[in-house]
Amino acid sequence: MDLHSDEQLVMELRNGSADAFEELYHRYKRHIFTFCLKLTGDRSLAEDATHDTFLKMYHNISALIDPRILRSWLYSIARNGVYRQLQRNQRNGSLDEESVWTEETPLMLAERREIKDIMTTCLDALKAEYKEVLFLREYEQHSYEEIAVITGDSVSSVKSRLFKARKALAEKLKPFFKE
């Protein structure tokens, strides 16, 4: 049971409460770490991005105007950090490119024929900008509006990316889902 709401903890953190920081960290660390891990596929990068996210939360908490959107704000910080790292590592393409996939060809790489393994391989092979909307929608169950806040895009762009990701996955996975 949460003893304190996010709003209360944000207020306390603004007054320099270490306990509030610790409680917020433990409340969100696994979600943020999992999100970073899904986007990067690399535990070390995910750890660095999670670390930086909470440090930024600590130092910039006064910039959070509405404490009710703390969760989305944290995802937004984490997402920006991950993108910076991915760009630094030159592992990510541009958002303007047509392709939904990374350079890997998922099904060629999927030697294991279990459908769940193939799904995981395909999800991992999606570009980060498609992976993030799918993860935020399907796993974290964020609304389109929340995802738009996190990604800094419009709601229509979020809808479009979700649709593209689903369509691309359906095309790849169709042979394994015969009627």
Partner 1 sequence: MNHADYQEQVSLYLDGMLGDRASAGLFSHLADCEECRSLLKVSMSVREHVAEQDIANVPSSLDQRVLGSLLFGGTTTRRSPWYAPVWFTRISVPLPAAASIVFLIIVGSLLFSPLLSQGQVKEAEIPKPFVDKIPQELQKTLDYTR
Name the site residues for partner 1 (rule: CB under 8 A): 18, 21-22, 25, 29-31, 33-34, 37, 43-44, 46-48, 50-51, 54-55, 58, 115-116, 119-120, 123, 134-135, 137-139, 144, 159, 162-163, 166-167, 169-170, 173-174, 177, 179
8 Å CB contact between 35 and 78: yes
Nearer to partner 1, 18 or 95 (CB): 18
Shortest Cβ 35–partner 1 spacing (Å):
9
Nearer to partner 1, 24 or 72 (CB): 24
Phi, psi (5° rounding) for residue 89? -90, 0
Shortest Cβ 34–partner 1 spacing (Å):
4
Shortest Cβ 173–partner 1 spacing (Å):
5
Whole-number Å distance between alpha carbons of 163 and 169: 10
Residue type, 32: I
Shortest Cβ 43–partner 1 spacing (Å):
8
Whole-number Å distance between alpha carbons of 52 and 15: 21
Q: Which residues pair with 126 in a beta bridge?
A: 101
Please give the angle made by the CA atoms of 43, 44 and 50, to the nearest 5 degrees.
Answer: 85
